[in-house]
């Protein structure tokens, strides 16, 4: 493959085919640019592609392998022992010294947060998309959602609230994340079975990412799922649920949602739905809703979702 264009180019989608510039690789892996060049000379790895300008561009699988190499160095191995190893050999090695688990258990670190903020500030879609796709493949869907996606959204929201990131950066992150979540779900959807879970937000609720998070979790659990999207009139949700013979309707309610109108809309929805359709109310705002009608079940977290799915 010939590398063309700048680091911001790329094919979109899950990001697998995209190439990382050296600075982004260094920031993501914690391995200095000088070291990356030295390993390339000495060990033949990494082996980036070159632009016409001579600049290096790294495929995503090499970035993943570099992450594992860095973990092995942290375990006490020398570069000469681990840089030439294939990914599966590195994983075996790390498993044997317990480092893979330790590395993954670290969850979200300041280095990850700052590399994500950095990519947002530069609107660097390839870096962000590949970083998310890499984490998803290393962690698996469940842990990716719990240990990366949800904490990162919290960090982005806080950074926006204190003026560190602007709304354009948050929108950019949300768009790339939504594409990533959708891309992961599409691969799982054909295997989904049973009456579907239908997901939406109520009118005026624009926080729709929760729907994509939950949809991916539902698809990963092997259930059929339909996302209707945010800001939907109650009777439209009712009709969709009817048409699909939904096993459950899941609402995502953000912490921003005003309690009284939200509870009223949930009551109207419950009355419109068939008694055989469960109504789950999730999201950061679900905890603050008092007086939920009978038959509307708070299912606030992804752990609660697992239990609710098991009970369908």
* Footprint of ligand B12 (CB under 6 A): 150, 153-154, 156-158, 161, 170-171, 174, 178, 204-210, 213-214, 250, 252, 254-256, 280, 282-284, 299-302, 305
Does residue 132 contact residue 180 with C-beta atoms inside 8 Å? Answer: yes
Chain position carrying tokens 């869907």: 141
Other Cβ atoms within 10 Å of 140 Cβ, number: 12
- Residue of 154, 170, 162 lying closest to 120 (CA atoms): 170
CA-atom Rg of the chain in angstroms: 22
Please provide residue 278's backbone torsions phi and psi, each rounded to the nearest 5 degrees.
Answer: -70, 155
Q: At what angle do helices 209-220 and 302-310 cross, to 10 degrees?
A: 40
The three-class DSSP label of residue 32 is coil
The Cα–Cα gap between 121 and 168 comes to 9
Cα–Cα dist 263/55, whole Å: 56
Taking each continuous run of H as one helix and of E as one strand, the counts in the chain are 15, 8
């Amino acid at each position: 493959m010939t590398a063309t264009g700048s680091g911001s180019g790329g094919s979109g989608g899950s990001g697998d085919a995209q190439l990382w510039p050296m600075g982004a690789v260094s920031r993501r892996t914690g391995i200095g640019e000088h070291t990356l060049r030295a390993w390339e000379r000495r060990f033949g790895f990494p082996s980036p592609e070159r632009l016409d300008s001579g600049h290096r561009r790294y495929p995503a699988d090499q970035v993943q392998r570099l992450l594992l190499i860095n973990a092995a160095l942290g375990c006490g191995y020398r570069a000469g022992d681990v840089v030439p190893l294939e990914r599966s050999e590195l994983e075996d090695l790390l498993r044997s010294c317990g480092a893979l688990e330790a590395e993954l258990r670290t969850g979200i670190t300041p280095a990850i947060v700052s590399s994500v903020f950095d990519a947002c500030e530069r609107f660097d879609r390839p870096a962000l998309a590949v970083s998310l796709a890499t984490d998803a493949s290393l962690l698996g869907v469940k842990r990716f959602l719990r240990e990366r996606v949800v904490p990162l959204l919290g960090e982005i929201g806080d950074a926006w609230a204190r003026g560190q990131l602007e709304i354009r950066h948050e929108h950019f992150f949300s768009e790339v994340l939504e594409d990533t979540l959708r891309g992961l779900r599409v691969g799982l959807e054909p295997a989904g079975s049973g009456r579907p879970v239908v997901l939406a937000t109520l009118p005026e609720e624009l926080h729709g990412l929760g729907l994509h998070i939950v949809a991916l979790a539902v698809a990963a659990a092997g259930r059929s799922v339909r996302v209707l999207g945010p800001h939907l009139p109650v009777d439209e949700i009712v009709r969709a649920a009817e048409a699909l013979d939904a096993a459950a309707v899941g609402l995502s309610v953000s912490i921003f949602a005003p309690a009284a109108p939200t509870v009223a809309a949930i009551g109207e929805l419950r009355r419109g739905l068939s008694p055989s359709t469960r109504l789950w109310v999730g999201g950061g705002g679900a905890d603050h809703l008092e007086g939920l009608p009978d038959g509307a079940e708070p299912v606030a977290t992804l752990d609660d979702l697992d239990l609710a799915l098991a009970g369908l």
